């Protein structure tokens, strides 16, 4: 279906999408991307986004995993309209609570003579014909069911009475009125099976869109142990949820512009299945951090300080009354909130180390010792302390030592912060204040 046809189709109906995770582990970034695309599509078309939980695997399901999924989706802002904790007209939303529903639908297949027993299990009798699906991402795909050796009748009910994924998945989609199934490409070959079941039930099939897999940056398959795989790790590492949503959206979807930074509202406005790529998405954790940095830069000083404070507290640093100004000094320097403590520690405590490499560079500057021997007194004599006044005093001390003022900026930075990089030197001088600058310069002179 082309873009115009797809758009016309969605306007003729009430869009209903769903995300159906299994609570057997944490929320993986691949699952989060599937949830996001369904959420974006539903929001774009004014439809409903349904969350249902495929929890029939009692041996592997855990309460911890269920909560991790809910917490991960909530943190990402992927609010569901129907599902656990929300209710709705199509519940229950846990498959483990839907057995009576499945029994009733199974009886329809029995009555239609579309199932038969085989070693205690029940198999669905395929119609031996080609089945063609028109996928909204992958295009037209045909599976030929005429060769039974390649497409044996599938089990829909196990010998223990439990139902298989294919059966409950189709029943739930029909029961819940799902209009669009957006899921991973690994399910592409399952769809013809589902279409045969839907036809046997006399139902109307949803539109399917199979989105590409996510690979690591080097093209290898992404595993659960790879950095960035677990959504629950992102808030602990200091990511902003809109930034993670932004990054995940770009894993397989192309806005067809050079823009890369979008708010959730902008993603809703721009999103379309026509712009979903066929090739796998490449997960680049460094790119994710860069996207986060762009979102951090858009925060105002108060928002940034509020986000950074828990990480500063956890590091054992005391965020004083001027913490908003302290945090603002490094807002353009960090990619994650978790990087803030190391970036501002020297502004919050006087106990900090001096970087050996930076200190060695200062010691190699022949004028540094002479300048810093007198710089403490020069700073002490400044009546009205300011960054400009301190830099002027440094300039005079440099000239007296036969050095250029610019050559002393780096040594002063190292004296005050212990490192050769960081916030603007003027901000450091202002935030530390006169007394602390005098003390640090004098202590640094002794090191030289």
pLDDT of residue 2: 47
DSSP structural state of residue 354: P
Catalytic site residue from 108, 157, 221, 224: 224
- DSSP result, 74-130: HHHT---SBBTTTB-TT---BGGG-HHHHHHHHHHHHHTT-EEEETTEEEE---SSE
Mean pLDDT of 218-222: 86
Give the dihedral of Cα atoms 324, 328, 331, 334; nearest 10 deg.
Answer: -70
Mean pLDDT of 353-359: 94
Q: Is the peptide bond before 248 cis (omega within 30 degrees of 0)?
A: no
Per-residue pLDDT tens over the stretch 176-202: 999 999 999 999 999 999 999 999 999
Whether the per-residue pLDDT at 134 is higher than 90: the answer is yes
Residues 6+ apart with CB under 8 A from 233: none
For 334-353, b where at least 16 C-beta lie within 10 A, e where not — what string?
bbbbbbbbebbbbbbeeeee
Nearest of 299, 351, 350, 293 to residue 328 by alpha carbon:
299
Per-residue pLDDT tens over the stretch 229-257: 899 999 999 999 999 999 999 999 999 99
pLDDT of residue 12: 43
pLDDT of residue 57: 80
Greater pLDDT, 169 or 11: 169
Residues 6+ apart with CB under 8 A from 366: none
pLDDT tier at 289 (50, 70, 90 boundaries)?
very high
Distance CA 99, CA 331 (A): 53
pLDDT of residue 394: 97
111 token code pair: 């009555």
pLDDT tier at 3 (50, 70, 90 boundaries)?
very low
Contact 155, 162 (CB under 8 A): no
Mean pLDDT of 343-347: 98
Mean pLDDT of 333-357: 96
Around Cβ 207, how many Cβ atoms within 10 Å? Answer: 20
Greater pLDDT, 56 or 184: 184
Give alpha helix (H) positions in 241-338.
241-249, 264-270, 285-297, 301-314, 323-328
Which percentage of the chain shows pLDDT scores above 90? 90
pLDDT of residue 13: 62
Contact 272, 339 (CB under 8 A): no
pLDDT tier at 59 (50, 70, 90 boundaries)?
confident
Whether the per-residue pLDDT at 7 is higher than 70: the answer is no
Distance CA 446, CA 440 (A): 10
Sole residue written with tokens 């490094």: 330
Whether the per-residue pLDDT at 401 is higher than 70: the answer is yes
pLDDT of residue 291: 98
Whether the per-residue pLDDT at 80 is higher than 70: the answer is yes
pLDDT of residue 223: 76
pLDDT tier at 109 (50, 70, 90 boundaries)?
very high
- Furthest C-alpha separation in the chain: 102
pLDDT of residue 220: 87
pLDDT of residue 29: 95
Per-residue pLDDT tens over the stretch 412-446: 999 999 999 999 999 999 999 999 999 999 999 99
Distance CA 328, CA 303 (A): 10
Which percentage of the chain shows pLDDT scores above 70? 97
- Angle of the 409-417 helix axis to the 425-447 helix axis, nearest 10: 80
Q: 57: part of which helix (H) or strand (E)?
A: none
Is 198 buried (19+), middle (13-18) or exposed (0-12) by CB count in 10 A?
middle
Distance CA 192, CA 127 (A): 11
- Annotated active-site residue 129? The verdict is no
Q: In angstroms, what CA-CA distances link 6 with 3, 203, 251, 266?
A: 5, 21, 22, 21
Distance CA 203, CA 400 (A): 90
Q: What is the average pLDDT score of the chain?
A: 94
Length of the chain (residues): 448
pLDDT tier at 226 (50, 70, 90 boundaries)?
confident
Mean pLDDT of 276-288: 94
Contact 170, 147 (CB under 8 A): no
Whether the per-residue pLDDT at 1 is higher than 50: the answer is no
Q: 333: part of which helix (H) or strand (E)?
A: none
Greater pLDDT, 448 or 391: 391
């Amino acid at each position: 279906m082309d873009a115009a046809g797809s758009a016309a189709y969605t306007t003729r109906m009430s869009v209903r999408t769903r995300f159906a995770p299994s609570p057997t582990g944490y929320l993986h970034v691949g699952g989060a991307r599937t949830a996001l695309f369904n959420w974006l599509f539903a929001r774009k078309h004014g439809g409903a986004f349904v969350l249902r939980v495929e929890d029939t695997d009692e041996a592997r399901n855990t309460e911890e995993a269920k909560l991790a999924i809910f917490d991960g989706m909530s943190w990402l802002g992927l609010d569901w309209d129907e599902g656990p904790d929300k209710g709705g007209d199509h519940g229950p939303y846990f498959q483990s609570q839907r057995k009576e529903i499945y029994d009733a639908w199974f009886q329809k297949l029995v009555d239609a003579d579309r199932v038969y027993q085989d070693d205690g299990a029940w198999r669905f009798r395929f119609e031996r014909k080609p089945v063609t699906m028109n996928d909204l991402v992958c295009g037209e795909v045909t599976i030929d069911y005429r060769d039974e050796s390649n497409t044996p009748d599938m089990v829909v009910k196990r010998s223990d009475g439990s139902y298989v994924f294919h059966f409950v998945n189709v029943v739930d989609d029909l029961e819940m009125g799902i209009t669009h199934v957006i899921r991973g490409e690994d399910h592409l070959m399952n769809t013809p099976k589902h279409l045969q079941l839907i036809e046997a039930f006399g139902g109307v099939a949803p539109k399917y869109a199979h989105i590409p897999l996510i690979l690591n940056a080097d093209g290898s398959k992404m595993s659960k142990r790879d950095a960035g795989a677990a959504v629950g790790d992102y808030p602990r590492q200091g990511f902003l949820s809109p930034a993670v949503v932004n990054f995940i959206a770009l894993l397989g979807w192309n806005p067809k512009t050079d823009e890369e930074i979008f708010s959730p509202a902008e993603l809703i406005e721009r999103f379309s299945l026509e712009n979903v790529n066929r090739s796998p998405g490449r997960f680049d954790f460094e790119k994710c951090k860069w996207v986060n940095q762009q979102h951090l830069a858009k925060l105002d000083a108060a928002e940034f300080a509020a986000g950074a404070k828990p990480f500063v507290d956890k590091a054992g640093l005391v965020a004083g009354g001027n913490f908003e100004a302290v945090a603002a000094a490094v807002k353009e320097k960090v990619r994650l909130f978790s990087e803030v403590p190391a970036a501002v520690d020297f502004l919050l405590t006087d106990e900090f180390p001096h970087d050996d490499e930076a200190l060695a560079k200062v010691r190699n500057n022949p004028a540094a010792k002479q300048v810093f021997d007198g710089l403490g007194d020069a700073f002490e004599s400044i009546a009205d302390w300011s960054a400009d006044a301190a830099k002027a005093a440094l300039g005079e001390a440099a000239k007296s030592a036969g050095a250029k003022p610019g050559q002393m900026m780096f040594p002063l930075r190292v004296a005050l912060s212990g490192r050769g990089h960081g916030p603007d030197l003027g901000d450091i001088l202002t935030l530390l204040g006169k007394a602390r600058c005098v003390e640090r310069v004098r202590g640094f002179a002794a090191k030289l």
